[in-house]
Structure 1
């Protein structure tokens, strides 16, 4: 399953909505996503499963790339 992860690049800074970034990951569950990203310095805000029509919409974005860890 594909997940969209909203995050800030630093755990040490206060989250600012304008600095939120996204990545897409393939994983079995939200817990699996968080486990795979645990060694990164990311402050994960939200993890959302993406499937069906939403996934097709997201694929149209030029920045759509699935991160494989």
Structure 2
């Protein structure tokens, strides 16, 4: 399954919408996504499972790239 992660790069700063970044990760659960990202200093805002039409839409984006962690 593919998950889209919304995050801020610095865990010590207040989240600002304009600074929110995204990445895509392949994992079997949201818990596994969090485990894979635990070594990074990210402030994770939201993790969304992508499937069906939503996944197809994201795959059509030029910014779509699944992280290898």
Establish whether TM, by shorter chain, passes 0.5: yes
Is residue 2:7 matched to residue 1:3? Answer: no
* Paired position in structure 2 for 1:67: 67
Rounded Cα–Cα distance in structure 1 between residues aligned with 2:29 and 2:47: 10
Counterparts of 1:41-56 in structure 2, within 5 Å, are 41-56=41-56
* Paired position in structure 1 for 2:30: 30
What SS does structure 2 have at the residue aligned with 1:41?
coil
* Paired position in structure 2 for 1:21: 21
What SS does structure 2 have at the residue aligned with 1:25?
strand
Structure 1 residue runs without a partner (length 5+): none
The Cα offsets for residues 13-67 of structure 1, whole Å up to 9 and x where unpaired, read as 1100110000000001000000000000100000000011110000111010000
Rounded Cα–Cα distance in structure 1 between residues aligned with 2:55 and 2:6: 16
What CA RMSD, in Å, does the superposition of the two structures yield over aligned residues?
A: 0.4
Give the TM-score normalised by structure 2: 0.98
Structure 2 residue runs without a partner (length 5+): none
